[in-house]
Structure formats: structure tokens, C-alpha cells
Structure 1
């Protein structure tokens, strides 16, 4: 069947996955592979005084125990921080080394100290118990803001007061002058709590060594293996022609599977050193103390208004916890990824932002679904609610006053980003109608009659995504009647196989079932990366470009084969034909003919196969309005989520079923942060107190009502498909909508001070009674 843009075919990979027939990294079987186990630091900050591994090396079945000493012997380079974010004065910030095994000091609980390789996993774990690890504990810094205060324990000497990065954007003096003249100023202190990713699939690595091959294959979950391969090659001194990375099915990425971690390096290094295959699979407890974590900001923000409640300027200082080490993209997330979005959808002509990157004795942070944009949306939507309250007007009225009108598009944001298209007031009004905003007062009375508090909350959002290049696609006519797409991106649940087939099916007029997607193999696929909602605006555009290039060459080949001028060749429904006649050739016939140089016009290279890497010079700006309705039991502090409505602008909808699934998943993830999820470290010891699902509550299906979703799309002008990135949107708009609803329920009945995410029963009860 042919499917095109706007159709709703189902994901083709689901039957395999739901039957348990997927091939995740831990499913890869390599005969005779040794098993790896990581010995981790039990303390958050200490000087290593003794690391004796001799008894472990002599234990039954143990082949090797690797430590920092062997790192030095083999000259294994540290993990790299890949960003080049500058301080406000233009200077570079320090990048302390992050060795894959601790040297001299440990700086967070769970940091790898030794890697044991044995014939069985049980033998490796038993050997770990024989390691003598002595240390002198040091004071710890865990509080995001508190770590910057005078007298706080130092994580790194090169970061005084634990501030490793001091970033600025905007004109500080100009903004200060606007605040001095403002008729009104509203301000809030925002806490954006730290999160553990908790993808369904824990991280794993399998390094396969074939005797005499000279090449090592590393199987690893990723969001595009090429970036990890480049880092591994540089770190371990392996020529990239002797290295292959393969990713099969991925059970959730969300940003955290994009990065290179010590364990993948350890597995590959051990295989290279020993000349044998090695595998490692992390358990859930290890993921809590080793996967890059998300969010963890404290922000002080204020907005200046005139007499008509129009926003004039915004000023913010954010303390962003980066953890004990700088992960791959960590400095980029609270700065360049986040800064431009601080003004949200509002006309705020001037802004000044200061971000202080803070080192703490905690697991490093990095991109997590939305990567900076959820933090920005939560900040501005909480601030706008406070401004409405201070001005004595409604939540929707202050937004109407400050949204640019549809005829004012494109809209230039406070730091210069240009939103190309949208109708923000229309979105809000559609969401209010769908949520029956006007009927809320009556519903609140009904709840009060039952002894419950009812609240309604609104939040709008905008994100910048889907720009640049980096998701190349190659189309190949390897066998008659089939087309393969080799993508540089990688699917971790988004449904690339269907969505790319829709684009190609529409452009080429061929059956979608004749299109196959190949991804996740550095020997076969072009280098690329999935992240930042680029899969369709960039990756899909690359597929479209490759199809157009194939048709352009196909017309030349068909013209020669059919002995006519190229201008007389028409193409439709998978067939080249001579205009006004019944003479023609199918796409597949032309593709076969193009392989023979004898059939080609002068100067045309053989084959219709080609690779394209589309570059969107400007990003997309998806936006929307979320409305959430809750009920609170004042006796217990329990919150019940009663109703959820979202209206989004995603430009052209490629596949409505996939789109709605992405939005639903993002909303659940965002509400999970706002409601229950919380990463808690002991302030005195740095121990992770929420290191299991017994202590870290994930959202559950029973917590959610049916989500009411629809779009009010305005075509995007910055990419040929007209789409706006959608993968992260739900997680961006959901947290402020939920928090605004709960605060609305509590307002007037209790103390809102400190009522911050996550809104657990004890927090809500304390706000009402404490």
C-alpha cells in the first residue's frame, strides 16, 4: 500500500517487540565472551589511600582486574566534554578530567574504580568482594545553590565556590534600566528537581573480537553510534577502520543513551587489551548511580511590566548542577539550549540571563528529554502565573496581553531567535474551549461540597529544535522492487521506519511495504545522531532530498532509454513516461538500467543511489497550550489528576498516530517529574537516598485520565516538509501545567511558598497545614 504525509499507518516494528523478539544489546550472543563487572565507589567524595586488587586477580575464573594504573599504562584518554560554551567574559571554562576509572580521588557514589573481567558474571562479582579499597572521606557538596556559598566543600580546585561556568546572555545594564523604571515587578524562585532517566532498557555493551580479524565490533545502545565511535577511537587509540559500532533495538533513549559512558569504554578497552570478547550489562541499581541525570536547576527570575501589564524585560540567574564531572553536552543544556527560550511565547523585548554551572558530588547531568527547554518553559510559565496574580488578572488575560498576534509573525524573541509561524492566542482559546475552562467554577463548587480542593492550571510552551544538519539518509536500489533507506539517525521508539517510508512512498509513488529502513551500524549507515527532535524536520528532509536526487538522475536515464528529451519525461506513481504516450519504464527498471554505464548520458555517474544530509539553516518552533485539572484531598495531600487537554502546533502532521503517541508519552514523563519523581542525595554523605523504584516513584498508567489532544497547525517555513519537531514537546509543557493546577487548588487555603516539584502528598499536606 502507498502511504503519504498525513496518513496514519501503524509502526511496523511493534509485532516483533511485543512478542519479545527484539534484539537489544543484552540479546547479542557472542560465543565465549568474558563477563565484566564494575567495582564502584561506595562514597561520594574521598581521597583513595589504598586499592589492592591482587586477591581479586587470583580469584577463580578472573582473567583481569583493570584499575587506574592500567589506564596510565595504556594511555587511555579521559571522557570528553564536547561543548565549547564560554563564560560571560568570553573566556573558556575549565574541563576537569573524567577518567573511566577513578584516579587519586572519587567524586560521586557509583563512580567506577575497577573493572573485573571473568569467565562468568558470578565470578566477577565474587572477585569484587575481595578488593581492598581504603579512602579518606572528604566533605561533600550536593545542594545546587548551597554548593556555591562561601565555605561549601570544593569538588574541584579549578572551580572556586564550585562554579565551573559563568555564562551570560543579553544586555545587563539595559535590562537593569528597564527594571528601574518598571511600573510593576513580579519575581519567583524556581526549583527544577533532578531526575533519573530510567529508560526501560538499562545500558549494556558487548565487544566482539574475532581472531585474525583485526577489527572489534562493539554493540551498544545509542542514539546514533557514530559519535560514540569517534570518541572511543580517540580515547583508546583504535583506528576507526578497525572499529565497528552496532545498535539494535533501543528501549528508550531520551537523551541519556546519546552519550558515551565509562562502561562502554571499559568493555571495549578490556577486549582490546585481552584479545577476547567481553560483555557488560548494567542492572537497575547501577543505572541510578551512573546514567547521566537531568534538570536540577535553581532559578531566581523576575519580569518588569508597564501599567497595562505588558512585559518589558526579564532578568534571571540560574544555578545549574552539572554533577561531579562534565558529561558530553552538560554545559550546553542550561546555557545555549535553554537561554533563548526563557521568554517563552511572550513579547518580552529585552532579557538578561546569567547561568552558573555548579559542580557537585553527584552523578553528572546532561540532556534529558527536552534538554533545557522544559527548564525554560517551567520557569517562564510559573513567572507568568505570579505576574497575573500580582496584577489581579486571570491567567488567560495576561497571556492575551503579552502574546504576539498571528499577524505579527514571524516573532523575534528576547535574545534574537525568530519564531517563523504560529497562532498562540488561537491555541490557548482552543485549549480553553476543549477543557471547558468556563465551567471550572461550577466543578470547583462540586468538589468543595465533597471536601476536596479543585484546581486548574494552564501553561504554554515553545521550543527550538529541528535545525541544522546531522541526520543524513542514503537511499539504495540494491534489488529490483525494493528501496532501502540507510539513516544516520536511530529509532528508540519514535517509529522512523514508518515515517520515513511515508515520505519516500509519497515522493516516489511506490508501496511503503517495499521500503526498508537500515540504521545503527557504522559499517553500513552514514554518521548521524537522533536528538533535538530532528528526526523528521532534518532526517525526513534528508530522505526527501535523496528521493528528489534519484528522480532527477532517473529522468536523465529514462530519457536516454526511451530515446526522448529529458523535458518530455514525466514521473508519477512509480513510473517514468514520455508525455502524451504510453511509453515508459518503472522506477525499478530505470534504477537497474542506471547501473550499466552504457545506459547513461554523458557525465552521469552510474546508479540512482545517493546520500543527502539536509541542513535546515533555521530551526523549527513547535508550540502549544496545556491545561490540567486536579483535585486535592486536604486531609492527606493526595492529588488526583482529573483532566488533561493539550492543543499543539506541529506544522504539517506527518503521521497523526505516531504524533499523538509522542505527545502522550511526553506528557506522562513531564507530569512524572512534577508529581512524584525526585532524586534525593543525603546532604552529609552524598549517598543517593532514592536509588531504587522503592524510593523513586515513576508515573503509572492508572494515574492518568484519557489525554485530550489535537493540533492547530500553522505550516513551518524553515524546512521543505513544513513540519515542526514533536518528540519532546509533551515533556516541556506538562510540568508547569500540572504545578499551576495544584497551586491553584491550594491557593487561598494554604501556603504556596516552597510548593515546588515534585508535588508529593507530604509537600501538599504541609502547604495546607504546616
Structure 2
């Protein structure tokens, strides 16, 4: 049994006290003396040439302090992509500049080409409307459809890129001939064309930034809604504005959700810093919800053709995919990694398929930039695989459960190298499938189907067995793959003189519960009360370094750094205790918060040793420095590979096409679980987002590039009655073999495994009702789409 509050326990989240009582401090809550307000002038057309911007009338308006246009930033750097990807022929990707403010052209609706700074928010907004009226933008034809963008060389998002392609990537290129031959000669080939629909992240807190400049020292401070403060500092200093890194502090206070959209640097952050320097006053900006829809990095947006070659008994021979991936008008920071190495390398799934080839073309369009969104490439891979497997099972009249079992990598095969370059260290995919089937009472499903039929509903069951790669690493590998940054993390553990502890971590919490879970780890190792451990995050002036929270890396990477720093604390504590107890260091043990001489009753508490480190009256000063503080940098040796089996049951109304998710079962392998309550909450949230993608969420642009789903009136977020009460299990765990905690990621699992489970269930329901011509319906499976498919027989 876990100790009270230690690893494996489920204490309530300590941070919820301030959130639930309204005491949280978000960026927009911060009020500074002398602050002024920024408002951005954004394009109302998807594609256009910027002509004259007459600022005279705007500058004369009440309260206006400054007006910025793209011309003010044309000579500064651009916001770069974080990964350099080469095309199949070896040529590097096309990387057009992403400016702070657009100049020359606007490239999507919402593209900011000017900003107004004024004494009040209302004055800034009024002045921005005046500036928009005094701006000339010559409308150009919009490029929205990806296939048309590639085919039309005369219509270009960026003038220097004739085919609107960022790159044409093949993975693994050496596999291509073998995969083509395997598919050509296979006894059976299933082909499926599908769409991974574009999504808007919709965090509760919109993006917000406050820029400050201190003339006396030349220092800058950016307070912003960030999942990754150090990355923001790095990009702004090294690429966008040229501020010396030691002169820029980035602080991310409480952050109300991110789901990936707050990893990236956005131009608004650079603008408020530049304006703060010019005016020598704090400059603040908070997005309106309409701005969030238009400008936050969107997710997914793939169009894929996938082919599965197999034997007549369902044994997999090869997978081959061709995908168009939308990157929007500009490259966001992870836009090139998400559809390639976070997607293509997962196209073997948990299966021992010998041949895999992935071709992916990334396309520029006159739409908002697309980047990593919860799951980031792995949901796209899982959806393609699990849908084509289900279609194949129907074509060959095979059991979808047994086909997956037949093709699973088995425990005796680990470590297992996939044909797409990953090395899975551990897993037991049969165990999670068995658990999911037990939870869902698969044997009783036909009785439930009959009961639904008696009520006039079609009931279906859908299965998804998935794997993901998270805790993104190691740095030497991702460097070879094109990453422009290292993907390690750091932690400093500071033991204070009175024995309480401050932990400075590079991970950033925006809903994950770090302030609860991280103390559990430290407390478990030191044998102390978790309440005595403080977690410090989100401030680059206090943290040694960090690469933030995304890709389910917080525990596996930052948590491992923290673990190793605590080990250093214990090692030094043993040296101090050995001196104080007049014993050999080799004879000192540490257990349950006490240093003891083995085989004797001589011992010292952790607090006594810590006090001696700061009040060194009896201390080995000739060999040890005073104090008790240690830092560790941790660079993982591999990704972690959580996996699971999800089962979904739906009811479909044959008269209206409405789909109801009536049951959902999750059997996950997350390795060692630190806090079951928080893990379960992470799965619940991810499944909710996955069901949202499957049933109702859809970002829609018209042919002119106007966003038709630009508010909650038009973008259908899942509501409480769209999701069932989930059943979640994580008992079939195989600990990760290459991090000290044995943990795997859990934060994105629900969003990865759930969409194909829902769609498989819908197709199963419709087929059971006699609609056997329906082999696929693209997400979201709205009542209209389902009803239309039923009428098409």
C-alpha cells in the first residue's frame, strides 16, 4: 500500500483549493502600475496584398499611444519551425518567414498586420477599427483545399513556393520498394480514404501576454499563457527580436488549459515586448474568443489514403499511406514534427507488421497555422490504422478482436524494433485487450444490442487498440531527425534549513496536477510529508532550464530529473550523516526519512541532517560544501510507449442519424502510476476530446478562406450529455525500462484511442441494421452525415 500521500496514493489536488475559491492568478488577472493596452488589426480576407495603411487618424484618437505595422518588424527575425524536415529527394523543407506582424501580404483571416496601443482597452479597440478602415488590402484568390493548392502553381500562399508544398516526406524511404511489392502480391488489400478533421483547441483561458521593459537594466519581462516558458524565451531572444537571453525573463503563471496550443511562440508576445520598450510602460493584451478561433494553432487536418495488405486469415503484411497534411499559412513551431516523426513513426501500431511506408506532403493554405494538438500525430496514425483494420475485418468476415491478437507484438518479443524506426521497450497488448473485454462484458453485447433494437435503436461496438510514443526524446535521436532543440529537462531540489523543500522544475502545469504529483515523488523518496514540498515552475528566472509540458513528457522527463536530483540530495545527506554519526559512509542507510548506521540504533532524521548542512557546527567542511541543494538534467534514452485497448458502445437512431455514446471502456498501460486519481482524470479528459472530434467538432472554411465555425454558435464542442460515464483501468501495467520512475505518459491517451473506437462502433451499428453499404463515415459523424449515408444505398 502507498504511504499517505506518497507514490500510488490519490490525494486531492492541492492546487484546486485556489482554483475553486477564485484565488488563482492568471495572466489577465495581473494589473500593473502604468499599464496600457494592445489591440490587433487583423485581416478580414484570407489572402491579400497590403497596400497603404494610413495611421494619421488613428494616432490622433483619444488615448492612442503608438501604432505598429508590419513595416516596423520587417527587418527582425521570424518565428521558426522547431524541426527541419527534408523531402524524399533530400532537399530541405521550404520555410517562409513568419513575421511578428504581416507585411507585404496577409495570408489567413485573422492574420495581424497592425497593432494599436492605447491607455484603455476600449480606446485601443476603437482605434484599431479606425485603422482597419484606413487600410487598403487588395483581395487575392484564397487557397483552402490542399489538393488544389498542390495542383495550382499560379496561386501561391508564399510567392517563393510555387507548388505550396513545405516538403514531400517519405518514411522509411528504404522500405518503399519492399512495401510496394508486398502490396502488389498480397492475397488481400483493403483501401480506405479518410479525413482527420481540423480542430480548434478551445482552452478555457484565451491567450494573453504582458510585456515589460526596464530601462535602467535593459531587461525585459514577458508574462504569458505558456506551456513552455523557456522555449518562448529561446525563440524570442535567438530568432525573433535578438534580445540577449539573459535579459529576458518569461513567466507563465496559472494557465487555464493548453492542449498544445500554448506551447508555441506567437507574434503578439513579441509585439507587447517591443511596445513596452518604446513606451517604457507595461503593455498588455488578452485575446477575445473570436481571436482564439482565428489565430490559435489548430489541430489535425489530414487527408489520408491507407492500404492494408494481409493474408486471407488477417495476418498483416504491409501498411502504406499517402497523406496531405495542412500546415496553414505559416509554420508554427512543431508543425513539421507533428505529421512526420510524431505520426509516421507510429504507423506500425502495436502490431508485428513487417512492411510499412509513409508518404506525407505538408501543404501551405490560406488558413490558420496547424500544429500539435492533444496527441499530436499519434491520434492521426491510430485513427488511420484502426479504421482500416476494422474495414478489412468486415471485408474478410473476420473477428476484429482475434485479428488484432493475431498481429500483436507479444511480451517475449521486447525490445521490439518496428519497421518505422522505433524501439518499443515493453508492453502486453493482450493483457489490456483482455481487461477491456472483461470490463465491457463483450459476451453480453448481443443481449444489449437486442434491447436497443426493442427501443428502435441500432447498437454497435467499436474496438481500438493503440500505442503512442511520448516523453519525446532522446536529444541525440531527435537531433538526427531534425529537431533544432534538445529535449531534456532539469530540476533543482533545494532543502531549506528547517527541512522543507522547494523543487524548481522545467515542466509547466496547466491542468495536469503537478503541484500534487511531484511532491508525492519527492516525499516518497525522502520519507517526509508531501505538504512540506513546494513546486516552483513557470518562471525562467527561477528554473535552471526546461522544455515545458507537452507530449506527455512531464513525469517521464521532468519527473525523472527531479528523481535524480533527490538521489543527489540523499547521497550528500549520507556523507553528512556519516560524519555526524562517526561511521563509514558505506554503512549509512536511508529509509523512511532517517539516516542510520546499519546494524545499530544510531540514526538521524532527514531534518537533522538538513539543519546541519545549513548550521555546520558539526560538519565535514574539509570535504563538503555547506547547504543542501542539487540540480539534475535528464535526457531520456528513448520515448515511452503507453498502450491500451478501448471499447465504445453507441446507439444510432435510424430515423435521425443521431449517435449517442452509451458506454466507454479504457484499459491502459501507463507503466508505474504515481497518482491514480489524476491519471483517471487525464484519461477522462482525453476521451472527452476524442469523442468531441468523432461526433461534433469541425473547423470549416469556405472557398474564400472565411472561417465559418468561428464561435461556439457554429463550432460544436462536446457537452456533458455527449459523453458517458467512463470506466478506466490501468492495472495491466508494464513499467518503462529506461526511466528511473518506470512511468509512461498518460495525458494524451484518451484522445488517441477514442476516435477510431467511436467510428468503428458507429459503422458496426449501421451494418447491424442492414446498412451494409456503409464502410466508412468521416468525422465528425453528425446526424446529418449519418442520415445521408443511410439514404445512399
State TM-score, norm by structure 2: 0.94
Residue in structure 1 matching 2:583, options 564, 576, 598: 564
> How far apart are the structure 2 equivalents of 1:129 and 1:704?
41
Alignment correspondent of 1:198: 202
Query: Are 2:278 and 1:259 aligned?
Result: no
For the 8 Å contact 1:624–1:649, the answer to whether it is kept is yes
Query: Are 2:347 and 1:342 aligned?
Result: yes
> How far apart are the structure 2 equivalents of 1:413 and 1:205?
43
For the 8 Å contact 1:293–1:365, the answer to whether it is kept is yes
In the TM superposition, 1:380-399 aligns within 5 A as 380-399=385-404
Query: Are 2:236 and 1:232 aligned?
Result: yes
Alignment correspondent of 1:760: 782
Query: Are 2:656 and 1:636 aligned?
Result: yes
Alignment correspondent of 1:286: 291
In the TM superposition, 1:86-97 aligns within 5 A as 86-97=86-97
For the 8 Å contact 1:453–1:631, the answer to whether it is kept is yes
> What are the Cα deviations for residues 542-585 of structure 1, in whole angstroms up to 9, with x where unaligned?
11101111111111122122222112222222222223334333
> How far apart are the structure 2 equivalents of 1:481 and 1:566?
22
Residue in structure 1 matching 2:753, options 722, 725, 733: 733
Distance change in 2, residues 1:447/1:334 (3 Å): same
Query: Are 2:479 and 1:442 aligned?
Result: no
> How far apart are the structure 2 equivalents of 1:710 and 1:543?
27
Alignment correspondent of 1:102: 102
Alignment correspondent of 2:625: 605
For the 8 Å contact 1:594–1:600, the answer to whether it is kept is no
For the 8 Å contact 1:68–1:103, the answer to whether it is kept is yes
Tell me by how many angstroms 1:136 deviates.
1.7
Distance change in 2, residues 1:754/1:580 (3 Å): closer
Tell me by how many angstroms 1:288 deviates.
0.5
SS state at 1:606 partner: coil
Query: Are 2:41 and 1:36 aligned?
Result: no
Alignment correspondent of 2:15: 13
Alignment correspondent of 2:478: none
> How far apart are the structure 2 equivalents of 1:262 and 1:314?
40
Alignment correspondent of 1:693: 712
SS state at 1:564 partner: coil
Alignment correspondent of 1:495: 513
SS state at 1:382 partner: helix
Residue in structure 2 matching 1:580, options 564, 576, 599: 599
For the 8 Å contact 1:411–1:418, the answer to whether it is kept is yes
Distance change in 2, residues 1:765/1:152 (3 Å): farther
SS state at 2:158 partner: coil
Alignment correspondent of 1:674: 694
Residue in structure 2 matching 1:296, options 290, 301, 312: 301
Alignment correspondent of 1:69: 71
Residue in structure 2 matching 1:402, options 377, 402, 407: 407
Alignment correspondent of 1:653: 673
SS state at 1:228 partner: helix
Alignment correspondent of 1:716: 736
Tell me by how many angstroms 1:526 deviates.
2.1
Tell me by how many angstroms 1:99 deviates.
0.8
> How far apart are the structure 1 equivalents of 2:650 and 2:621?
68
SS state at 2:198 partner: strand
Deviates further, 324-333 or 431-440: 431-440
Tell me by how many angstroms 1:156 deviates.
2.0
Tell me by how many angstroms 1:594 deviates.
2.5
Residue in structure 2 matching 1:518, options 523, 536, 549: 536
> How far apart are the structure 2 equivalents of 1:654 and 1:161?
49
> What are the Cα deviations for residues 140-176 of structure 1, in whole angstroms up to 9, with x where unaligned?
1112333223467321233333211111112211111
> How far apart are the structure 2 equivalents of 1:134 and 1:166?
36
Tell me by how many angstroms 1:604 deviates.
3.1
For the 8 Å contact 2:169–2:359, the answer to whether it is kept is yes
Distance change in 2, residues 1:708/1:122 (3 Å): same
Alignment length (residue pairs): 767
For the 8 Å contact 1:224–1:527, the answer to whether it is kept is no
> How far apart are the structure 1 equivalents of 2:377 and 2:510?
20
> What are the Cα deviations for residues 666-689 of structure 1, in whole angstroms up to 9, with x where unaligned?
000111111100000001x10000
Query: Are 2:58 and 1:56 aligned?
Result: yes
Residue in structure 2 matching 1:215, options 212, 215, 219: 219
For the 8 Å contact 2:494–2:629, the answer to whether it is kept is yes
> How far apart are the structure 2 equivalents of 1:753 and 1:162?
33
SS state at 1:161 partner: coil
For the 8 Å contact 1:145–1:298, the answer to whether it is kept is no
Deviates further, 207-216 or 332-341: 207-216
Alignment correspondent of 2:644: 624
Over the aligned positions, Cα root-mean-square deviation in angstroms equals 1.6
Deviates further, 673-682 or 166-175: 166-175
For the 8 Å contact 1:187–1:300, the answer to whether it is kept is yes
Alignment correspondent of 2:494: 476
Deviates further, 594-603 or 174-183: 594-603
SS state at 2:350 partner: coil
In the TM superposition, 1:702-713 aligns within 5 A as 702-711=721-730, 712-713=732-733
In the TM superposition, 1:404-443 aligns within 5 A as 404-443=409-448
Alignment correspondent of 1:138: 140
Alignment correspondent of 1:745: 765
Deviates further, 592-601 or 289-298: 592-601
For the 8 Å contact 1:477–1:483, the answer to whether it is kept is yes
> What are the Cα deviations for residues 421-448 of structure 1, in whole angstroms up to 9, with x where unaligned?
1111221122112112222222222222
> How far apart are the structure 2 equivalents of 1:407 and 1:174?
26
> What are the Cα deviations for residues 333-384 of structure 1, in whole angstroms up to 9, with x where unaligned?
0001111111111111111111100101000011101110000000100010
> How far apart are the structure 2 equivalents of 1:575 and 1:297?
56
SS state at 2:739 partner: coil
SS state at 2:336 partner: helix
For the 8 Å contact 2:642–2:668, the answer to whether it is kept is yes
> How far apart are the structure 2 equivalents of 1:545 and 1:562?
25
Deviates further, 89-98 or 323-332: 89-98
Deviates further, 553-562 or 370-379: 553-562
Alignment correspondent of 1:156: 158
Deviates further, 401-410 or 239-248: 401-410
> How far apart are the structure 2 equivalents of 1:716 and 1:335?
24
SS state at 1:485 partner: strand
Query: Are 2:180 and 1:185 aligned?
Result: no
For the 8 Å contact 2:499–2:610, the answer to whether it is kept is no
In the TM superposition, 1:314-325 aligns within 5 A as 314-325=319-330
In the TM superposition, 1:520-559 aligns within 5 A as 520-528=538-546, 529-559=548-578
> How far apart are the structure 2 equivalents of 1:693 and 1:726?
29
Deviates further, 586-595 or 40-49: 586-595
> How far apart are the structure 1 equivalents of 2:356 and 2:630?
45
State TM-score, norm by structure 1: 0.97
> How far apart are the structure 1 equivalents of 2:400 and 2:120?
61
For the 8 Å contact 2:153–2:162, the answer to whether it is kept is no
> How far apart are the structure 2 equivalents of 1:151 and 1:745?
44
For the 8 Å contact 1:643–1:707, the answer to whether it is kept is yes
Deviates further, 620-629 or 602-611: 602-611
Unaligned stretches of 5+ residues in structure 1 = none
> How far apart are the structure 1 equivalents of 2:497 and 2:690?
45
For the 8 Å contact 1:107–1:362, the answer to whether it is kept is yes
SS state at 1:500 partner: helix
> What are the Cα deviations for residues 55-105 of structure 1, in whole angstroms up to 9, with x where unaligned?
111111000000022224xx4321111211111122211110111111111
SS state at 1:330 partner: coil
> How far apart are the structure 1 equivalents of 2:511 and 2:245?
28
> How far apart are the structure 2 equivalents of 1:210 and 1:23?
23
For the 8 Å contact 1:158–1:164, the answer to whether it is kept is no
> What are the Cα deviations for residues 308-329 of structure 1, in whole angstroms up to 9, with x where unaligned?
3211111111100000001111
Tell me by how many angstroms 1:741 deviates.
0.8
Alignment correspondent of 1:175: 179
Alignment correspondent of 2:248: 243
Deviates further, 260-269 or 434-443: 434-443
